[in-house]
Structure 1
Amino acid sequence: MKPPVIPHDVPYKLANGALRDRSVFEIGGRLVGGDHFAMIAGPCTVESREQLLTSADAMLEAGATMFRGGAYKPRTSPYAFHGLGHEGLRLLAEAKERTGLPIVTELMDVRDVEAVVGVADVIQIGARNMQNYTLLTEIGRSGVPALLKRGLSATLDELLNASEYILAEGNEKVLLCERGIRTFETAYRFTLDLTAIPVLKELTHLPIIVDPSHAAGRRALVEPLSLAAAAAGADGIIVEVHPDPDNAVCDGPQQLRTDEFPEYLRKVEQVAQIAGKVLGGVPV
């Protein structure tokens, strides 16, 4: 069978959906993409050992497929909490050893590549770094799976071109993440572009993850947005969960409570099943 012919004017070649069937990745013993639905959950940021391990235990017990937590945090204000850095990575490594859950954590600076690669099963690239091409290239060279968040005002073409920087280095495991874009609406933080899910399914073979927490900015909106994303065919959710969000160091109002997470996960799983997906696939 001849390989598909991709028009010369399509700038992204490796991410193009005409190139191959839908991608299914194995990450830390879990399958992502295709018929498999990923639930990536955990606190916005690593605050303390107790907070992190309590969260990790709760995510494992509830049935999450991966554990998220930020050791490095991009913040709008230079005076805000920017994460525990290397100590945060050490605690994430402890959580991974304790629970067996694959770790998803953000990389912001090429100087921290080695440290993050030593812990992360998935490197998260935040919205503000979507077009940090030097960083994307280094993540591509690392070979570690990447979760690439759409920029605040980025088009889907720009997102796919950004993913190409990672793919071009031989790293095929790229997850695209819709996390809301900036529009004229002020009733909520960002507009979650659910239309991006089916459109990206037409354009690319890469799995599509949705982040309802950052789009909503409010806890009450996270569940309905998650259900809508699952119904629209998303390949997974990345959601913020905290044992005591009212006292969280950052983004407390948008984080689900750990004791509410099992019921939330059950509802999302039911909708994902209707859409033809199974939660947390494990290779046979």
Structure 2
Amino acid sequence: MIIVMKDKQAAQTVVTQAKSFQLNHVYRFENRVGFADIKNSAALSFINQDDVIEIIAEHPAAMQVSRTFHPNDTMIQTAHSQIGGDNFNLIAGPDAIESAEHVLAMGKSAKAAGATILRGGSYKPRTNPYSFQGLGEQGLKWHRIAADTLGMDMMTEVMSPADVDLVGQYTDIFQIGTRNMQNFALLKAVGQQDKPVLLKRGMSATVDEWLSAAEYIASEGNTQIMLMERGIRSFDQKYLRNTMDVSVIPVLRELTHLPILADPSHAAGVAEHVTATGLAAVAAGAQGLMIEIHDQPTKALVDGKQALTPEQMVSLFEKAQAIHDIVR
């Protein structure tokens, strides 16, 4: 249940009262107070009805991440990026950290193209257990040095609750990959951190399942969440690795206040189609793109087939920015 109060002070009074009654899962956004566990307003008899503007009994189950509770766009501020609203964010880097020299070189290319966030994986979830799994903490160290040298934010994937503290020592933004979207222990763990979280859509997840995963993070206190569409599993994998669900982007812009970004690299799966897929996502309203790059894609340790060269990245980012400006 969401109670709209006359002002922020009245809303905070309600939160304080709720805590004195030992009510759980009570949240406030400006003059709105959300009660995740309460369905009947009779349980809220302690509220001064003269201060109540509206009672919203019907709202999404993923309450905190909904626009019903939080009408305004969330803005996430990091050292080098402002994410959300009318901003357009470019994220780029190698799929996997391969060496200190390589991540720095790719970071230089990414920054020159306008990216403010340097991505890269030191822990890699692979379908084949014998494939390259990442360099672990050594990769995190090289990644951190490159980001600091270039004045960029660092973003990397975390795969296990046990790794959250270690990864958190290095990264500016936690990435939750598609295979971990419903790893609830991991979602709770990053929800207890004070750093932004990028949550990718599960490859077969519905919109409600995706938003509920974001709610898991928010329920632990961390509301610095951004969502990333990265393509969903469909029936035609001969030509497409995944299918970019472009139509979900405007749906999410309507349902949630969280920033919505897109990953055309994983959606397309082959470099020749990454640009077109990414531009379609921007035209649909994506507030940012994440691109995998490599100077020698055929020699990449992971997913070289879908990696753009730095030159291809520049072309994509220029077109994407122009389309975003038109859509905005």
- TM range, normalised to the smaller chain? over 0.9
Residue segments in structure 2 that go unaligned for 5+ positions in a row: 1-5, 7-30, 33-53
| Number of aligned residues | 276
- Deviation of 1:19 after TM superposition, in Å, equals 1.5
Q: Does 1:35 align with 2:92?
A: no
Q: Hey, what does 2:311 align to over in structure 1?
A: 259
Q: Does 1:201 align with 2:242?
A: no
Q: Hey, what does 1:13 align to over in structure 2?
A: 63
Q: Residue 250 of structure 1 is aligned with which of 293, 298, 302?
A: 302
Which one-letter code corresponds to 1:14 in the other structure? Q
Deviation string 1:10-29 (CA, Å, 9 cap, x unpaired) is 31110011112111111223
- Deviation of 1:9 after TM superposition, in Å, equals 6.0
Q: Residue 86 of structure 1 is aligned with which of 137, 146, 150?
A: 137
Contact 1:71–1:88 (Cα < 8 Å) also in 2: yes
4+ runs deviating over 6 angstroms: none
Cα distance between partner residues in 2 of 1:239 and 1:260: 10
Task: Tell me the secondary structure at the aligned position of residue 201 of structure 1.
Answer: helix
Cα distance between partner residues in 2 of 1:193 and 1:171: 27
Cα distance between partner residues in 2 of 1:96 and 1:43: 13
| Structure-2-length-normalised TM-score | 0.82
Q: Hey, what does 2:278 align to over in structure 1?
A: 226
Deviation string 1:68-90 (CA, Å, 9 cap, x unpaired) is 00010000000000100000000
Contact 2:59–2:68 (Cα < 8 Å) also in 1: no
Identity %: 43
Q: Hey, what does 1:128 align to over in structure 2?
A: 179
Which one-letter code corresponds to 1:191 in the other structure? T
Contact 1:6–1:19 (Cα < 8 Å) also in 2: no
Cα distance between partner residues in 1 of 2:112 and 2:205: 36
Deviation string 1:57-108 (CA, Å, 9 cap, x unpaired) is 1111221121100010000000000100000000011111210100110000
> 93-102 or 23-32: which moved more?
23-32
| Structure-1-length-normalised TM-score | 0.94
Which one-letter code corresponds to 2:162 in the other structure? R
Q: Hey, what does 1:162 align to over in structure 2?
A: 213
Q: Which structure: larger Rg?
A: 2
Contact 2:106–2:310 (Cα < 8 Å) also in 1: yes
Task: Tell me the secondary structure at the aligned position of residue 130 of structure 2.
Answer: coil
Contact 2:293–2:307 (Cα < 8 Å) also in 1: yes
Residue segments in structure 1 that go unaligned for 5+ positions in a row: 277-284
Q: Hey, what does 1:146 align to over in structure 2?
A: 197
Q: Residue 237 of structure 1 is aligned with which of 261, 281, 289?
A: 289
> 7-16 or 178-187: which moved more?
7-16
Q: Does 1:64 align with 2:115?
A: yes
| Structure of higher RCO (CA pairs closer than 8 Å, 6+ residues apart) | 1
Cα distance between partner residues in 1 of 2:110 and 2:76: 21
Q: Residue 215 of structure 1 is aligned with which of 243, 255, 267?
A: 267
Task: Tell me the secondary structure at the aligned position of residue 239 of structure 1.
Answer: strand
Task: Tell me the secondary structure at the aligned position of residue 226 of structure 2.
Answer: strand
Give the superposed CA RMSD: 1.2
- Deviation of 1:7 after TM superposition, in Å, equals 3.7
- With over 3 angstroms needed to count, the CA separation of the structure-2 counterparts of 1:5 and 1:96, relative to structure 1, is farther
Q: Hey, what does 1:279 align to over in structure 2?
A: none
Cα distance between partner residues in 2 of 1:18 and 1:75: 38
- Deviation of 1:239 after TM superposition, in Å, equals 1.0
Contact 2:291–2:313 (Cα < 8 Å) also in 1: no
Q: Residue 52 of structure 1 is aligned with which of 103, 109, 133?
A: 103
> 14-23 or 211-220: which moved more?
14-23
- With over 3 angstroms needed to count, the CA separation of the structure-2 counterparts of 1:141 and 1:274, relative to structure 1, is same
- With over 3 angstroms needed to count, the CA separation of the structure-2 counterparts of 1:26 and 1:5, relative to structure 1, is farther
Cα distance between partner residues in 1 of 2:59 and 2:234: 29
Contact 1:6–1:13 (Cα < 8 Å) also in 2: no
Q: Hey, what does 2:152 align to over in structure 1?
A: 101
Task: Tell me the secondary structure at the aligned position of residue 192 of structure 2.
Answer: helix
